[in-house]
A = this chain, B = another copy of it.
């Protein structure tokens, strides 16, 4: 198959590599000429072309740009897509993208997707083969897409090694607010807080243990990618954030009251996350 990847970052670039290894012909589209060059140098894609030219000769188009730009890119790609072509996106929010495409005459050639995979690094150089292996591939609102388009995307996801999950786009955004977006927010905030106070960076460098490194890891994530996600999913995220702040205040109150038993109780409740995480691995 001919596959076009629009957006040659961590996700798009990693998918390009895996598709190439499967024997597909992979074309690249990226607004950033430096990323185009890098993707070519790294062998992620066979050729970089303008969007219309690449899409017009493709069976499958992957839109892997920041979520705020995704609907416009999908609409542009739908204009040039061959009759039986399929477009899917990979964004971390799904509801606003699906809403933007509601009633589009070619809506059924689009499949709203989200492979739950990634790292805190970004750009073509962060791409690597196998990123999607044993990860979850979410397909949203599949009844809005043509059955052959859904089958095509699900087949590709299975070939990438993903387990499939089908869910409504609003449900998706709600869950992701809790299991991903608020994690990023708490980690960005931790980074910011520690940098604010620890003017002497040497002390952080010196005294931070592996626990800090793990908790703050996501603070390295791309602002270009994450600011739009937080705005697109603001409704659910603000709900999660309020609940997070409430819980912080519970800790604060118990520390102020020197309520050791109360603190332990909150921590024991939080410990239940163990069972959840262990089921995952």
Q: Which residues in A have some Cβ–Cβ distance to B below 8 Å? A: 68, 116-120, 135-136, 138, 165, 175-176, 178-180, 182-198, 201, 203-221, 223-224, 226-228, 230-231, 234, 237-238, 240-241, 243-245, 247-249, 251-252, 255-256, 258, 260, 263-277, 279-280
Contact = CB atoms under 8 A, between A and B. Distances in A.
Contact of A195 (B183, B221, B273): B273
A201 B278 CA distance: 12
A116 B209 CA distance: 6
Given A204-B276, A212-B180, A260 B227 contact: yes
A193 B247 contact: yes
Nearest to A196: B243
B191 A271 contact: yes
Q: Is the interface of A mostly helix, strand, loop or mixed?
A: helix
A271 to B, nearest CB: 6
Contacts of A116: 207-209
A199 to B, nearest CB: 11
A25 B88 CA distance: 64
Question: How many copies of this protein are present in the complex?
Answer: 2
A187 B208 contact: no
A215 B212 contact: no
Nearest to A165: B206
Contact of A241 (B175, B252, B272, B280): B252
Given A175-B207, A189-B247, A277-B213, A223 B255 contact: no
Given A217-B215, A255-B230, A255-B234, A190 B194 contact: no
B206 A214 contact: no
A45 B135 CA distance: 42
Given A189-B251, A268-B223, A238 B209 contact: no
B190 A183 contact: yes
A214 B217 contact: yes
Contacts of A221: 267, 271
27 contacts: A116-B207, A118-B209, A120-B211, A136-B209, A179-B204, A180-B209, A180-B211, A183-B212, A184-B215, A186-B187, A187-B215, A191-B272, A193-B247, A194-B273, A195-B269, A197-B243, A201-B275, A220-B273, A220-B274, A223-B268, A227-B260, A230-B251, A230-B263, A231-B260, A241-B252, A244-B248, A245-B252
A194 B245 CA distance: 12
Given A180-B208, A183-B216, A280-B213, A227 B273 contact: no
Contact of A238 (B188, B220, B252): B252
